[in-house]
Each structure stands twice: as structure tokens, then as C-alpha cells.
């Protein structure tokens, strides 16, 4: 992928609860200049950010806890429903992992509640891959996709970076879901992705599993990063 291809799939992020109006405004100015597919902020900043974005740039919000996701069903539903207003296009939600018995029926219940609360918003489920071994990672990716997630996302970046193994596993599971259910879902890579070399290293692995994911563009492939745009500009 060249720089422009990456920008077209970039979720440009500013995840700082204490961000000032000036910082948010400068963030939006940069987004308008380079035109990533989406910007991602905390839901509390969505109302301020939306009118500052040029038409065509999607607004994504993080809801229900970050980097640690809520495990309370009522809190999850309320937080996401409140975040997914008429001016929000997408929502990123952490499915909080556990050391044992993960995923199970309780996690499926949470995923169903998340999907319902997100309504028509594009839903990206954050799996925190640095905290998971291969077997539970594959299981939870399959569960998230089956429960209605539009994208599976590698991690928040706050508890580890996206590994090559995780990128390959998630790409395979997205491919497997399409072949099993005839549904095309998406993959978002995030966590420790700061340079063009990082992107190319991980996207080669995705292409090894299923080239159609990246070939489909931003509808099925995203990169989450806060500093990457500085490297590409």
C-alpha cells in the first residue's frame, strides 16, 4: 500500500479525555487537510468534533470503557446507545477479555447487547489480542463476527501492540466467516502502528490470508493510528 491508499483506510484518532477545544479543532483541521476515511474520538467529544469535519469524513467514537471495556450489560447498553447519536457513523467497543473461560455465553450476551445498542452504526469490536492466546482469540473473533460486528479490531494499543500473528489470525477468521456465512466483514489493525513499514509488514500478512479484504478498501479494511498520518504526510 502506498501512502494515499493507507490514508483512505485510516481511522485517525485522538483518544484523550482531557483534550482541549483547541486540540480537537487542530485535529479536525488536519483530518480535513489529508482526508482519512474516519476520525475516532471519545464519545464526549463527538458533538464538538462533528461540525468541524468536512463532508465525507466519517465520525467514529469509543464507548463503554477504554482501554478496559465495561462488563456490566446495563452500563454497556446505556453507554453505547447514548454515544450512537444521529451524527455518529461508527463505534469502537472493547470486549474485555478474561484469563480463564473466555469467551463463553456471557461474552456472547455482551456482544449481542453491544450490537443492539449500536443500532445502525458501523460496529468495530476491539479484541485486545495482546492479552489472548491463539485459541481464545480465534473463538472470540468468530463469536464477534457471528454476533453482528462489522469489523474485528486487533487492540487498543494501551495493553500491547498488534502482532504479526494476530493480524494473520484475524484476517483468516474474516475470510472464514465469509466462506461459512456468505457475509463480508472487515478487519481493523491498530496498536503500535506508526510507520509505513509497520503497515506494509502487517498488510502483507493480511493479503496472504485473503487479498480481497484490503482490495475492498475502507469498507472492509481499516488502520487505527494517531501518529501514522504524520509519517505519511
Domain with 195 in it: 3-232
pLDDT at 184: 98
> What is the C-alpha to C-alpha distance for residues 108 and 150, in angstroms, rounded to an integer?
15
- Indicate the angle between helix axes 134-146 and 164-181, nearest 10 degrees: 40
Residues with Cβ within 8 Å of residue 33, at least 6 apart in sequence: none
Q: Is the dihedral of CA 40, 44, 48, 51 positive or negative?
A: positive
pLDDT at 123: 98
Per residue of the chain (233 residues), what is the pLDDT tens digit? Answer: 889 999 999 999 999 999 999 999 999 999 999 999 999 999 999 999 999 999 999 999 999 999 999 999 999 999 999 999 999 999 999 999 999 999 999 999 999 999 999 999 999 999 999 999 999 999 999 999 999 999 999 999 999 999 999 999 999 999 999 999 999 999 999 999 999 999 999 999 999 999 999 999 999 999 998 888 877 77
CATH number, domain at 87?
3.20.20.70
> What is the C-alpha to C-alpha distance for residues 6 and 190, in angstroms, rounded to an integer?
13
pLDDT at 226: 84
pLDDT digits (tens, 9 = 90+) for 198-233: 999 999 999 999 999 999 999 999 999 888 887 777
pLDDT at 173: 98
pLDDT at 207: 98
| DSSP notation for 158-224 | SS-PPPHHHHHHHHHHHHHHHHHHS---EEEEESS--SHHHHHHHHHHHHHH-HHHHHTGGGTEEEE
Question: What radius of gyration, in Å, describes the C-alpha atoms of the chain?
Answer: 16
Number of domains in the chain: 1
Give 70's DSSP letter.
P
End-to-end CA, the chain: 15
pLDDT at 42: 97
Amino acid at each position: 500500500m502506498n501512502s494515499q491508499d493507507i490514508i483512505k483506510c485510516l481511522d485517525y484518532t485522538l483518544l484523550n479525555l482531557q483534550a482541549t477545544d483547541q486540540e480537537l479543532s487542530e485535529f479536525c483541521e488536519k483530518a480535513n487537510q489529508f482526508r482519512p476515511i474516519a476520525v475516532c474520538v471519545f464519545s464526549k467529544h463527538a458533538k464538538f468534533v462533528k461540525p468541524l469535519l468536512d463532508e465525507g469524513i466519517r465520525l467514529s467514537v469509543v464507548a463503554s470503557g477504554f482501554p478496559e471495556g465495561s462488563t456490566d450489560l446495563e452500563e454497556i447498553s446505556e453507554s453505547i446507545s447514548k454515544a450512537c447519536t444521529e451524527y455518529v457513523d461508527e463505534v469502537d467497543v472493547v470486549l474485555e477479555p478474561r484469563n480463564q473461560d473466555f469467551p463463553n455465553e456471557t461474552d456472547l450476551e455482551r456482544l449481542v447487547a453491544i450490537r443492539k445498542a449500536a443500532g445502525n452504526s458501523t460496529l468495530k469490536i476491539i479484541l485486545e489480542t495482546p492479552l489472548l492466546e491463539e485459541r481464545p482469540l480465534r473463538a472470540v473473533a468468530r463469536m464477534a463476527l457471528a454476533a453482528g460486528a462489522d469489523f474485528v479490531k486487533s487492540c487498543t494499543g494501551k495493553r500491547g501492540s498488534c502482532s504479526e500473528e494476530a493480524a494473520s489470525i484475524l484476517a483468516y477468521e474474516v475470510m472464514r466467516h465469509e466462506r461459512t456465512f456468505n457475509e463480508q466483514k472487515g478487519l481493523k489493525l491498530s496498536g503500535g502502528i506508526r510507520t509505513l513499514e509497520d503497515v506494509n509488514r502487517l498488510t502483507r500478512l493480511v493479503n496472504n490470508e485473503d487479498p480481497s479484504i484490503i482490495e475492498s478498501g475502507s469498507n472492509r479494511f481499516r488502520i487505527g493510528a494517531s501518529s501514522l498520518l504524520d509519517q505519511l504526510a
